[in-house]
Each structure stands twice: as structure tokens, then as C-alpha cells.
Amino acid sequence: MKARSVLGILILVLSLGAAGNALAGLPGDVTGNGAVDVSDIQCTVLTALNPQPPACLAAPTAADLNCSGATDVVDIQLEVLIVLYYPNPGLPADKDANKNNIVDACEGAPPVCGNGKCEPPTESNANCPADCPASAYKAGDVIITE
């Protein structure tokens, strides 16, 4: 039943097309390609269905949009809302009071800066510039320093 629900959501979303381009580090950009679009939904679905993270995932926690510790159908629904309403806030007010498309529960989590990986939604160029450079790298890239 779970797979059927996820498949239905995926088919609906694939028919919508891309939602647009934006800067890297964008809430909902689970692939780290600098855009919030249907590929992020597809990657979230693949993450929810597979025990191993798919290659499309920018960081291990990128698709866990509600910071529950797992990627599931709730994260897929949140991703669909973000993509459908992009660039406007798409998350419900009870999940995102400040309308920045990041679930409020995730904003309370401290970033893990300095591990060489950009891990959204808690890390960005603004709060972890060493892990998330403004240019040349996408979220999830390992930064090698000497």
C-alpha cells in the first residue's frame, strides 16, 4: 500500500514539470543542483523506498524534511508542497511558522559544521561557510582541505 501511494504521488508530480531554478542551498533542493523541481521529489521518493541512499541525494539527511530521523511519505508530501508553490512558501503554517520552507523542528537542530559535508536543512553557506561554499560546490560535496 505504501509503494502504491508513493507511486501515485510520483506520477502526479512527474506530470507537473519543473518548478524553476534557484540558488544552491535552497530549502527543498534535496539533489543539491541549485533548483527546486520534480527531480527533488523523485529523489525523495527514491530515498523513502530504498534502504541505501540513492546517488541523487545531496547529503544523507537532505530528504528528511521534517527532521524525524527517517525519510518517509510525510517528507514526500512536504517536498511536493515546496515544489508546487515554489518560489512562494508551500509548507503549512503549523509546520513552518516563519514561512521559509524549512520545517520549524529542523531549525532548532544545531548544524554540524566542520565535518567537510554540507548537510541541509541545518547547514548552509550562511551558517557553515567552510562546509557549504557559496560557489563551485553543491550541497553534499566533500570539501578536501590541506
> How many CA atoms within 13 Å lie on the side-chain side of 17?
1
Q: What is the pLDDT along the chain (146 residues), one digit of tens a residue?
A: 565 555 455 444 443 333 322 233 689 999 999 999 999 999 999 999 998 999 999 988 899 999 888 999 999 999 999 999 988 888 888 888 888 888 888 887 666 677 777 777 667 777 778 777 775 445 455 544 43
Domains of the chain, residue spans: 2-107
Residues 6 or more apart whose CB falls under 8 angstroms from that of 80 comprise 9, 13, 41
In three-state secondary structure terms, 117 is strand
Query: What pTM was estimated for this model as a whole?
Result: 0.61
